[in-house]
Amino acid sequence: MRPGEKLAYGKVYDANSYTLYAGVQECGAFPLLYGIIKDNETVMKKALETAVSECALILTSGSTSSGAGDVMYRLIDEIGETLAHGINIKPGKPVVIGIIKDVPIIGLPGNPTSTLMIFNEFVAPSSGKPSEPKPGSKK
């Protein structure tokens, strides 16, 4: 559910979209927010095809594990190429990295902590924007 909406029983707020949006902006890029995409292969495939036509890099969150309902890695294989599925890091292991029509795609885990961990460790540093020095450290 979108932050600010009345939280229904059994639902969670969509933290990932908005924190990734802010993170991408901090990297100096111009993010496009597609909102929550239903866990439906046809709907997800259509959203990926749209994103490929509009974006230089695609970030997704969720549906990256190997469970029956997790389809992102299969969709990347179907319409592009998977370069890696799963990395040896916790939190954040079920990452999928691929290419669709020359557009890189990084499927981040759905867990908000895992999503931000992978974004901060792998995506943000590759943005080309110099890291800010930590307070108290020398440049």
Residue 31, preceding bond cis, omega within 30 degrees? no
CATH class of 16-124: alpha beta
Q: Which pair of structure tokens corresponds to residue 46? A: 């259509």
Q: Which residue, among 33, 49, 51, 29, has the nearest Cα to 41 in the 3D structure? A: 49
**Could you tell me the two tokens for 6?**
């009345």
Kindly report the pTM of this predicted structure: 0.85
Residues 26-84 pLDDT 10s:
999 999 999 889 888 999 999 999 999 999 999 999 888 877 778 898 999 999 999 99
Ranges assigned E (strand) in 1-139 = 58-61, 81-85, 96-100, 103-108
Contact (CB, 8 A) for 64 and 94 = yes
For 130-139, the pLDDT digits (tens) are 555 445 545 4
In the chain, where the domains are located: 16-124
CB of 24 closer than 8 Å to CB of 59:
yes
Task: Count Cβ atoms below 10 Å from residue 135 Cβ, excluding itself.
Answer: 5
